[in-house]
Structure 1
Amino acid sequence: MGKLKKRADGLYKKSFMYDGKRYYVYGHNKAELEEKERVKKNQLIDGKKKHDTPTLNQYYESWMDSRQGTVKEATLRCQYFQFKSCADIVIDCLNKTLGELKLKDITPDDLRAVQRALIDGGNSEQTVNDKLAVLNHLFSDAYKERRIDYNPCIAVKNLKRTTPEARDTFHRALTIEETERFFKMAENSAYYDIYRFAINTGMRVGEIGALFESDIYDGVIHVRRTLTKAETGNMTIGETTKTIKASRNIPLNDAIKEILEHQRYINRMLRGDKVISIHQPIFTAPEGGLIVSAPTNREMLRICKKAEIEPFTMHAFRATFATRCIESGIAPKTLQELLGHTSIKMSMDLYGHVMDSTKQTAMNQLKII
């Protein structure tokens, strides 16, 4: 037992040892001291348990805190929802959620149970793989920190796809006929210039929404930032692009110049004589706010239905731009730089699947001997 000592202010002081360290409590009498010592010890024991043997949920909180400032807020927010959808699944044989299990006790079988539950809940195989990838990242870091002896995700295989890849459906490259039919029906859309700009530059919708007049000079579009979601869910203009390589320069051509001039004309019509800062977005939503993907894609769905073509999303314009570049003979390295990819392999893996007609044309022109 620690000694009781009365201080000059009339309070008693008591010390005790825990885990090799001395702690102090203060009170008016012996009973108060004993109660404060009990509470303090419980707090220390609980804290030590969380540190030495945290649950998955407890480790996730510290893991996320450690990544603040080094990972984009939009990425953290997305990973939070992916993690929660896994952590909230009940492991039937244990009658606990995955998040309630001790980090060190989670097994590959537990993760396979999560896979099955996510599939049964209506998630696609790719969505399940993406969610498990967040857990894999977390366990990998825990292993590096020596919190666990092995990463249980290593023994869990990704699910095989049973549905077509997005690049073959709503992210697909449009045929020339689809492109012509879509834009014919889109002429009166408030998003007309945004759609045209996307397919002519290969820029992501967030990059288009964060493009300022000051970013266009010397005959070049200087892509330097993108729209992003804060942790609150609100759309904001970020200070950087999606990745370091995404910061790039795209030369202007006549088609892009015409689109920009038309959009500037629309902006003058909407804003009248109001002075427009060169550091404000060129392309905005119809009501004047930042571009949001949901209404943009809803409008595309309406146009696709009217044009009688299979639905697609904004990303299809980027795939279409890349495919037209390949068909035109643009070098892979140039395509990589125009798209802002980190490697040529990424560009070719995503967009190197040119259409059958293009392959046939290439073979018809091929002469070896």
Structure 2
Amino acid sequence: MIKKYLTKDGETRYMLQAYLGVDPFTGKQRRTTRRGFKTQKEAKKAERELLLSVEENGFTDHSSKPTFKEVADMWLESYETTVKPTTYQNTKNYLNAIIEHHFKDIRIESVSVAKMQKIVIELSKKYVTYLNYLSIINRVFKYAVHLDIVQTNPVDRIIRPKQQKPRKEKIALTKEELNKFLTLAKKDARPVLYTAWHTLAYTGLRRGELLGLEWSDIDFKNKTISVSKTLVTINGKLSTQSPKTKRSARTISLDDSTVQILKDWKLEQKKLFFKYGVKSKNIVITNTKGGYFDFAHFRDELRYFLGKHKLKQFSVHSLRHTHASLLFEAGIEPKTISDRLGHSNIQTTLDMYTHLNDKQRSDVADRLLKFLEA
């Protein structure tokens, strides 16, 4: 659209107002206004050239260049269709933190190698697992290169700082510590908690796998647990989804004592449901209303119990770690342990659980001598 107007000096000039379409990077309509043309013909010519340029080259003016966030949002939309809801939610949380602290209102083409190097150094100082953040940044830039938004990926040319070692080592209970803990739990903890803690320690289940269990997953006759799902929190709501990895879907054998504890709890659970008028939902480890046990509540119950009895503090996951460590100490083959724990590969098992306690170290020489003398 061409319009005539008067300048402050009273001279006649022409202006153009053009609709350029929808910017694919922002999803917003783009319009432009240009003034100062001396003739209507000049204004129309400029309008034609502008529309032709947009049609052939896209939105090339600097103001329309997308920000890192705009490109990241597009990538995230595609990424959501390829992963589990929990993975998507975790990645989105990482990305929000990255944008807020390092890329807020920054146009993606303006991120130089030097700037990227500064960002990665800041990340490495702030996060022990900073490579998780860097991996997401790298994916966004690769996506931008793929769409011809930028020509190169600055992450390709940075020097990656050495990743720090985790500050906290995983805690594994000794056989004596575990027995003491479970003995006290049997006497003083609610039956549902004792059942949960014992099952974790004697099966190596992940917390979510345990809390997502249904009674139909337990075969009392053949003494097995079938792991086919895990409890997760998505947007503040508890629900189940397929296990962490393909190898996580597995069948775990149960010892006689664990079978009996689960049977006892099933009977006690029915009595409690009947007493309080709770409708059974087939869930093994339930809250007082028969629903899923909340992760935070489950964690806090263990902390409270350990504090009450003045025991060494450890996490719920420590019971899984304890199970694996005791299997190693008992001489079980790593491949068997890996299958039982549902690790994606045996190297994961070896990397996480082949630490030796003092007794194992002192036994090495004696075991070698016995072998050589046999």
Matched, 1:78 2:90: yes
**Stretches of 4+ moved more than 6 A in 1?**
15-19, 273-277
Once the two structures are superposed, what CA deviation does each residue of 1:181-207 show, in whole Å capped at 9, x if it has no partner?
332343332322111111111111111
Give the drift of 1:275: 9.7
Alpha-carbon spacing, 1:107–1:304, altered in 2? closer, same or farther (3 Å): farther
Find the partner of 1:225 among 229, 236, 246: 229
Structure number with higher relative contact order (C-alpha < 8 Å, ≥ 6 residues apart): 1
Aligned residue pairs: how many? 321
Residue 287 of structure 1 and its aligned partner are, at CA, apart by 4.3
CA contact (8 A) 1:56 1:102 kept: yes
| 1:172–1:254 CA distance, 2 compared to 1 (3 A) | same
Q: Distance in 1 between matches of 2:20 and 2:149?
A: 26
Asked if the contact 1:246–1:341 (Cα under 8 Å) also holds between the matched residues in 2, the reply is yes
- Cα separation, 1, equivalents of 2:329 and 2:113: 45
User: 1:8-50 CA deviation, whole Å, 9 max, x = no partner?
Assistant: xxxxxxx99979xxxxxxxxxxxxxx9xx9xxx8xx89x9479
> Does the aligned pair in 2 maintain the 1:172–1:312 contact within 8 Å?
yes
Give the aligned partner of residue 12 of structure 1. none
Pairwise mapping of residues 1-369 of structure 1 onto structure 2 (< 5 A)?
A: 48=59, 53-89=65-101, 98-114=103-119, 123-126=126-129, 128-143=130-145, 147-154=149-156, 155-158=158-161, 160-161=163-164, 164=167, 166=168, 168=169, 171-187=170-186, 188-190=188-190, 191-217=193-219, 218-230=222-234, 232-238=235-241, 240-272=242-274, 280-367=282-369, 368-369=371-372
Tell me how far 1:362 sits from its aligned partner: 3.5
Which SS does the other structure have where 1:100 is aligned? coil
| SS at structure 1 position matched to 2:225 | strand
After superposition, the C-alpha distances for 1:113-157 in whole angstroms (9 at most, x for unaligned) are 44565678xx5423x443333323433444455544444334242
Counterparts in 2 of 1:275 and 1:344: CA distance versus 1, 3 Å:
same
Q: Residue 219 and residue 147 in structure 1: after superposition, are their counterparts in 2 closer, same or farther (change >3 A)?
A: farther
Partner of 1:6: none
- The 8 Å contact of residues 319 and 351 in structure 1, kept in 2 or not, is answered as yes
Confirm or deny: 8 A CA contact 1:226 1:237 kept in the other structure: yes
Kindly indicate whether the alpha-carbon contact (under 8 Å) linking 1:143 and 1:150 is maintained by their aligned counterparts in 2.
yes
The code of the aligned residue for 2:67 comes to T
Is residue 212–residue 283 contact of structure 2 (8 Å, CA) maintained in 1?
yes
Residues 1:18 and 1:261: Cα distance change in structure 2 (over 3 Å): closer
For each residue in 1:313-369, what CA deviation from the matched residue of structure 2 results, as whole angstroms up to 9, or x when unmatched? 111111111111111111111111111111100111111113222232243222253
How far apart in 2 are the matches of 1:303 and 1:287? Answer: 21
Return the letter of the residue paired with 2:183.
Answer: K
Preserved contact between residue 175 and residue 326 of structure 2 (Cα < 8 Å) = no
Aligned partner of residue 89 in structure 1, secondary structure: helix
- Evaluate the alpha carbon distance shift between residue 183 and residue 124 of structure 1 in structure 2; reply closer, same or farther with a 3 A threshold: farther
In the superposition, the TM-score normalised over structure 1's length comes to 0.75
List gaps (5 residues or longer) in structure 2.
3-17, 23-43
> In 2, distance between residues paired with 1:64 and 1:73?
12
> Residue 252 of structure 2: SS of its match in structure 1?
strand
| CA spacing shift, 1:312–1:152, aligned 2, 3 Å | farther
Distance 1:280 1:144, change over 3 A: farther
| Contact 1:210-1:281 within 8 A present in 2 as well | yes
Q: What is the CA distance between 1:309 and its match in structure 2?
A: 3.8
What is the identity percentage for the equivalent residue pairs of Structure 1 and Structure 2? Answer: 24
Structure 1 Cα separation of the partners of residues 347 and 19 of structure 2 = 62
Equivalent-residue separation in structure 2 for 1:140 and 1:175 (angstroms): 47
Letter in 1 for 2:111: I
Q: Which residue of 1 aligns with 2:30?
A: none
Asked if the contact 2:68/2:105 (under 8 Å) is kept, the reply is yes
In structure 1, the partner of 2:7 is none
Instruction: Letter of the 1:236 partner, please give it.
Output: S
- Quick one: distance in 1 between partners of 2:163 and 2:309? 34
Deviation of 1:162 (Å) = 6.5
CA–CA separation in structure 1 for the residues paired with 2:288 and 2:359: 38
Counterpart-to-counterpart distance in 2, 1:310 and 1:267: 30
**What do you get for the CA RMSD once the two structures are aligned?**
3.6
Question: 1:133 & 1:119 partners in 2: Cα distance?
Answer: 13
More moved, 104-113 vs 206-215: 104-113
TM-score between both structures, scaled by the size of structure 2: 0.74
Matches of 1:48 and 1:281, distance apart in 2: 55
